[in-house]
A and B are shown apart, each in its own frame.
Chain A
Amino acid sequence: MLQVQNLTRRFGEHTAVDDVTFSVPSGKMTGFVGANGAGKTTTMRMIMGVLTAHAGKVLLDGRSVTADDRATFGYMPEERGLYPKQPIIDQLVYLGQLHRMSQGDARSRAQELLERFQLGDRRKDKLESLSLGNQQRVQIAASLLHRPSVLILDEPFSGLDPVAVDSMVELLREHTAQGVPVLFSSHQLDLVDRLCDNLVILQKGRLVTSGSGDELRAAAPRRHRLTVSPDAGWVREEAGVTVIDVAGRDAVVELDSDDDAQRLLTAAMARGRVHEFSRIRPSLSEIYRGVSQ
């Protein structure tokens, strides 16, 4: 498990990351969300040791990460970049070697990853001759090349077409299945919903909330949908009920406790027919929107 404890980074007067603590469990995908400028990239760069933290630490399996540990991490920086004028395979082998792979191992692994991305026959092409989407795939291959022990990916899905997103997801799932903790940032909330076991939400450098999907949902306000006839307007007058929305026979309400829910249901049945009364299970993106308002 990768843990971030009290990480803080200032740039001059501005505190970009302020006392942020969260964990990235092994074998889980953790989504890292927040508006632009929330401090996601700064946090990831501190995890990778590219940027020095002014306070706090990064732990791997309970002990401080070392440079040797980080050499086994897979990292995809926010600003993409490899060597544009060099053949793809050459630069992947070079990066693999720098990550302490043997030349032969790096070559066969690079070949294997390129084939997964349908780039096997273009391995000798210069990077700049590829489309941006394909360059992105090479970038992903570069971060996965050395069979990383931890994956830190800054916006890995941006710029990918749906097919590439699927093969990326498949690759990431293979890594989590091996117990690798994966932290990725994204603005695509639908993807976050689909992929994440965990969510970390930053806002203006501070942690808003973090935890597993179940934990976050349990902590989210209890919203219920109620459909009655002839009309749902009466819910406005009920005690202990916060009305979110009422339209004709439908109402969405927020309730503080299960007792309030039972009381509301009883009242509804006393007034007429009840067609639906259900707990709304919020999506992670709704939770994100809820907390970052």
Chain B
Amino acid sequence: MSTITKPRHAGHHPEGAAPSVPGSTQPAWLIVTLREVMVKAKDRGFAISTVVTLVLIVAGVVFNAYMDNRGEDFAVAVTSDAGRSVVALADEDGRADGGNTAFKAEVVESDDAALDQVRSGDVDAALLQDKDGLWTLTGKEEVSPGLSGGLGAALESFVLSTNAAATGISPEELLAGSELEQSLLEGSTENQAVASVAGFAFGFLFYMAAMIFGLQIANSVVEEKQNRVVEILATAIPIRQLLYGKVLGNTILAMVQLALYGGAALLALNLTGTSDLVGGIIPASGWFLVFFLFGFLILAAMWAVLGSLASRPEDLNNGSAPVLALILAALGAGLFATGQLLVVASYVPVVSSVAMPIRMLNTEVALWEPILSLVIALAAAAALIHLGEKIYRRAVMQPGALSLRKAMKLEQ
């Protein structure tokens, strides 16, 4: 049996030298991209970690909602009508505005009886007034902040109204003009809270994806280098296309995973009814996706270069410091940057992936600003991929670990 079904080359036919096979129309970079995606998608560890993260995100949202909605019931021992009134006032406030913190007074004969009840655990605390009129709240081992806060506020308004009544002025008159209204020159107070949560989420998601998929790119490069498959690949396709395929494949994976996580979080927020804040996040999240894409492309080129310089996966630790610094800077911008620093950060490629969406949440940002920042990031991505390609092409064919300086001097 002959395995050669189509006699192709013959030294004597000039056209036999470079035959094109019918039926193959895919460009090389696309074949590489598809392989990167398929290998990862079929990887059980990757599937499991994705599912686990999804579950954690949804569970986190649900847990938060549960904690927010969970009511607290406090039993307080008192010995006087005044005490009972304070507890009743606290109960009223606790239930106001959809709250579900309840206070119940247990009236007992004496202070000692009240303390006995605390000791035995029948009540959470005892609210007692000494002969000088000073109030004490006594718990067994601790007094929960919900309890002391609620009773403290109730006591204050109780005493206020009692004292006011004694002077013949109504409590409202007494407090007139004492209210402090809050306002911000830029943005709104509500956005501030959303921004801090979203900033954390953006920073963290970027950090995770940059690490997971960045390392994936570097490992995939170093695997081919270590096994010398790259030598076979290099004879089949331009090595540049191999780099493009890897960067693109992992970018797609990162974006899909990010969209999956973000989608799950938004869905869970909606279903648990904690969605009042979500409205503000969505436009910024859209921008985040775009910025993420550009920032990730830059990091992807860097990780690919790191992979090509290494000789084994273990070598990746050396030399990954600059990349890690950039990723951490992006995370830090999400968590801590404010004011002028945040404005500057929102134009620095990679860091801008997190910083600009956060700025857009915090304040009004003119449309040209994110667009300019994206143009800068795109230029940086193009320059880095171009540079990365040069280093990659040289280093990946060279067995063993290399320094960046040495790789730049290599000839192919």
Q: Check if A112 is an interface residue, CB within 8 A of chain B.
A: yes
Minimal beta-carbon separation of A92 from chain B (angstroms): 11
Q: Are B16 and A102 in contact (CB under 8 A)?
A: no
Is A94's CB under 8 angstroms from B223's CB?
A: no
Of residues 24 through 67 on chain A, the ones whose CB sits less than 8 Å from some CB of chain B are 25-27, 45, 48-52, 60-61, 66-67
User: Is the CB–CB distance between A174 and B4 below 8 Å?
Assistant: yes
Of A2, A82, A181, which one neighbours B227 at CB under 8 angstroms?
Answer: A82
Interface of A is mostly: loop
- A100/B228 contact (C-beta < 8 A), A70-B235, A94-B31, A94-B35 known: no
A72 touching B7 in the complex, CB below 8 Å, given contacts A50-B231, A79-B231, A98-B31? no
- A95 and B232: CB pair below 8 A? yes
Give the shortest distance, in Å, between A14 (CB) and chain B (any CB).
14
* Cβ B23 vs Cβ A102 within 8 A: yes
A227: Cβ under 8 A from any B Cβ: no
The answer, yes or no, to whether A69 is at the interface (CB within 8 Å) is yes
Query: From residue A154, how far is it (CB to closest CB) to chain B in Å?
Result: 10
Within 8 A of B (CB), among A71-114: 71-73, 75, 77, 79-84, 86, 94-95, 97-102, 104-105, 112-113
CB contact between B236 and one of A84, A95, A171, A175 (< 8 Å): that residue: A95
Interface majority SS (helix, strand, loop, mixed), chain B: loop
Q: Count residues of chain A with CB under 8 A from any CB of chain B.
A: 58
B10: chain A residues within 8 A (beta carbon): 26-27, 178-179
- Chain A residue contacts of B16, Cβ below 8 A: 149, 179
Query: How far, in angstroms, from A27 to B399 measured CA to CA in the complex?
Result: 34
Specify the chain B residue showing the minimal Cβ separation from A10: B411
Taken residue by residue from 193 to 212, chain A's Cβ proximity to chain B (1 for < 8 Å, 0 otherwise) reads as 00000000000000000000
User: Distance (Å) between the CB of B21 and the closest chain A CB?
Assistant: 5
Contacts of B8 in A (CB 8 A): 72, 147, 149, 178
State whether B228 touches A80 (Cβ < 8 A). Answer: yes
Q: Mark A166-185, 1 if CB is under 8 A from B, else 0.
A: 00000100110011110000
For A51, give the chain B residue with the smallest CB separation.
B412
Contacts of A49 in B (CB 8 A): 234-235
CA distance A171 to B20 in the complex (A): 23
Q: Is the Cβ of B39 less than 8 Å from the Cβ of A97? A: no
Whether the Cβ atoms of A97 and B31 lie closer than 8 Å is yes
- Measured between beta carbons, the chain A residues less than 8 angstroms from B228 are 77, 79-81
Closest chain B residue to A73, Cβ basis: B235
Is A258 an interface position by the 8 A CB rule? no
Q: Are B18 and A48 neighbours in the complex by a CB distance under 8 Å?
A: no
Known: A50-B235, A77-B232, A175-B4. A26 touches B12 (CB 8 A): yes
Which residues of B sit under 8 angstroms from A68, Cβ to Cβ?
18
Of A72, A97, A180, which is within 8 A of B18 by CB? A72
A1 close to chain B: CB less than 8 A: yes
Q: Which residues of A contact B (CB under 8 A)?
A: 1-2, 25-27, 45, 48-52, 60-61, 66-73, 75, 77, 79-84, 86, 94-95, 97-102, 104-105, 112-113, 116, 142-144, 146-150, 171, 174-175, 178-181
Q: Which residues of B come within 8 Å of A, CB atoms? A: 2-12, 14, 16-24, 26, 28, 31-32, 35, 39, 223-224, 226-229, 231-238, 397, 399, 411-412
Known: A50-B397, A99-B236, A116-B3. 20 other contacts (CB 8 A): A26-B9, A48-B235, A69-B17, A69-B18, A72-B18, A75-B232, A77-B232, A79-B399, A81-B229, A82-B232, A83-B224, A95-B233, A100-B21, A100-B24, A101-B24, A113-B3, A147-B5, A149-B8, A174-B2, A174-B3
